[in-house]
Structure 1
Amino acid sequence: MVEGLVEGTAEDAGARTGSLAGFRIGVTAARKNEEQVALLERRGAEVVLAPALSSDPNRVDEAQLRPATEAVIANPPHMFLATTGVGMRAWIEQAQQWGLDEALVRALRPAEILARGPKAVGALRAVGLRELWSPQSELFEDVLDHLRGRDLTGKRIVVQEHGQSLSMVAHALRRQGADVTVVTVYRTVTAEDPTPMFALVDRIADLELDAVTFTSAPAVAALMDAATSVGRRDDVVSAFQADVVAVCVGPVTAAAFELWGVPTIYPPDRSRMAAMIKLMESDLPSRRQGLSLELVGGHQLLMHGESVLLDGTEVKLSPAPMAVLAALVANPGNVVPRRALLAQLPSGTAGSEHAVEMAVARLRAALGTRAVQTVVKRGYRLAVEV
């Protein structure tokens, strides 16, 4: 599923001034990649296109979906988890072709409906279904957190699966006593020709790119699978943790990188391609220059190389907190996973998350306790004024 779409025009100040001139950017999108490449090139960027997925990535298996649909209609669920808008729409459209769409909606309507995000909500409401709850984060793990601790014994739960397997989600709910059915609406298919993706893997691993853009979580998985198959996964992870910026269209795509301990940047407000490119216009140039940030509380932070100034006064940091600060500054306002911070600590530092906690504590002592925020279960972020 592509998380963001093109909006706005390319004829803006960034396009006119070549705001990304001199930057080499990889693009992994399959759908609408012509628009993204055009937006980047008109800003002066050199673009390397390597679609991670098929141009028709979401393929419905009718032989599997129809009996699953009939089973839901015959035995309506107590709870329904909708994960994607494109998946819900595809399911209803297929059911309509079989003359089963009205029966499917009737079967789902009495259920407790939870939706992963606004696109799933929109698809539900389009057919007259109303969600009872949806997380602001758009993360499916927050849907599970919402259900954690509830007694689900005897509850029939239907999970609408997106392009990647949700079997572990089903297992987690079964441990709470639920009778879980996963309905696979479509499967994501990787690119027919993997050659460009293998070339992109090498360019990332060899630090030949400044950034790589991702518009879907399956694209992240496809890249990492390609890197693993050619024995360069660790090189790619290290590159993303150091010099190559993983730019995501939104938090759902960014979450796919957390498994690998890779820090990401993404637009804070809207999951849209134009917002992602605007973010790159401000973020990438700042990485080549001294970076000045407004911290929460009105403090000014300036970092240039090994020099750190807080409100004009030099701050002395030992190597571990300096490494943590560099990683946080590289992703201002965005969450950096503990694993990614651990990878940035100097060699010889104890290899555990406790070492990260100690480095963060020292950093807070130097910059103020509010400078670094803890994001429970995810990592840390620099508290910057928006």
Structure 2
Amino acid sequence: MAQHMAGKKIAITGPRKAAEMSKLVEKMGGTPVLRPAQGTVFLDDQELRSSLKSWVEQPPDWTILTTGIGLEAILDMSAEMGIGAQLESLLSRGSVAARGYKTVNALKKRGIIPDVRDDDGSSAGLIRSFAPYDMRGKDVILQLHGDAAPLLVSWLQEQGAAVRQVLPYRHVPPEEQDLAALLNDILEGQIDAVTFTSAPQIRFLAEYAASQGKKEAMLAALENQIIAAAVGKVTANGMLEEGIKRIVVPGEERMGSMMVELGRYFAGTEAVNGYGLA
């Protein structure tokens, strides 16, 4: 593997697969710096059970699914509750929208083809694909992962839809000392790049930086000195919403692809924001 990261220090903020990502950085000649910006993600059993019970008892006009792992968690829990067959039947017969290829693949495994899917893996892309549909007065169940989707929720409400959100997982904030270390690395120029694998990681960091009165300084460092990388467009859009504008994003949403793209950036062979971002 080309040593495009030789001499570079790369902050890894995602707790999942941090070891694998570290090995990739090392293979490319860089030094990984573990800086978790997201705590443990756990299943919120009680709320999820209540949501699934309501889902089956009051079937929606539309079901919007945004993550494959979230859909799997929902179906596993519904099976445990004894309502799995009912829920799968509702998905098969009802109007379904899906965001992201993993969500589409999880549906296809069960013989379900979504009526609407995004055109680029983002919530904005999903909204564009809804253009032919009238959502006024529609009851919508929106499955999220562990974080809100304000853009999608706001759009649905503006269209006159009633939205019920189902969050099978909850993101827990990381330890404050971890965020402090990452923020210091950015402000002091101790790293050359920071990688993000989910929107909550950016949100937790941005909120902490703001609480310390250092968000503008952080954004300036990311604009002028340190490059930020996102695993995909959903994560990149979360970064844009927080004011991070200089972003490396792979064409394919994979952690390995993100590292390769970051290496290409350091080698000077790839433009920043080359995939239709801001």
TM-score by length of 2: 0.91
Aligned counterpart in structure 2 of residue 39 of structure 1, from 16, 19, 24: 24
Q: What is the aligned residue count?
A: 277
Where do 1:98-177 residues align within 5 Å?
98-148=81-131, 150-166=133-149, 169-177=152-160
Aligned to 2:196: 214
Aligned to 2:56: 73
Q: What amino acid is the match of 2:97? A: L
Cα distance 1:263–1:187, how it changes in 2: closer, same or farther (>3 A)? same
CA offsets per residue over residues 11-63 of structure 1, 9 Å max, x none? Answer: xx32xxx4322112111010110111122123321222111112x32x22121
The 3-state SS of whatever aligns with 1:53 is: coil
Aligned to 1:353: none
Tell me, in whole angstroms, the C-alpha distance in 1 between the residues paired with 2:128 and 2:99.
12
Q: How far apart are residue 332 of structure 1 and its match?
A: 6.3
Aligned to 1:321: none
Cα distance 1:222–1:96, how it changes in 2: closer, same or farther (>3 A)? same
Q: Say whether residues 1:243 and 2:243 are aligned partners.
A: no
Cα distance 1:163–1:119, how it changes in 2: closer, same or farther (>3 A)? same
CA offsets per residue over residues 92-124 of structure 1, 9 Å max, x none? Answer: 111111111111111222221110111111122
Q: Say whether residues 1:333 and 2:274 are aligned partners.
A: yes
Percentage of pairs with the same residue: 29
Aligned to 1:179: 162
Q: What amino acid is the match of 2:21? A: Q
Highest relative contact order (Cα 8 Å, sep 6+), 1 or 2?
A: 2
CA offsets per residue over residues 321-372 of structure 1, 9 Å max, x none? Answer: xxxxxxxx851634452xxxxxxxxxxxxxxxxxxxxxxxxxxxxxxxxxxx
Q: Which runs of 4+ in 1 moved over 6 A?
A: none
Q: Say whether residues 1:30 and 2:15 are aligned partners.
A: yes
Q: How far apart are residue 67 of structure 1 and its match?
A: 1.8
Q: How far apart are residue 226 of structure 1 and its match?
A: 2.3
The 3-state SS of whatever aligns with 2:115 is: coil
Tell me, in whole angstroms, the C-alpha distance in 1 between the residues paired with 2:107 and 2:48.
18
Aligned counterpart in structure 1 of residue 172 of structure 2, from 178, 189, 194: 189
Bigger radius of gyration: 1
Tell me, in whole angstroms, the C-alpha distance in 2 between the residues paired with 1:186 and 1:77.
21
Superposition RMSD in Å: 2.1
Unaligned runs of 5+ in 2: none
Tell me, in whole angstroms, the C-alpha distance in 2 between the residues paired with 1:282 and 1:168.
31
Q: Say whether residues 1:53 and 2:35 are aligned partners.
A: no
Cα distance 1:229–1:46, how it changes in 2: closer, same or farther (>3 A)? same
Tell me, in whole angstroms, the C-alpha distance in 1 between the residues paired with 2:155 and 2:4.
47
The 3-state SS of whatever aligns with 2:163 is: strand
Tell me, in whole angstroms, the C-alpha distance in 2 between the residues paired with 1:230 and 1:277.
30
Aligned to 1:303: none
Tell me, in whole angstroms, the C-alpha distance in 2 between the residues paired with 1:117 and 1:21.
33
Aligned to 2:184: 202
Tell me, in whole angstroms, the C-alpha distance in 2 between the residues paired with 1:47 and 1:36.
8
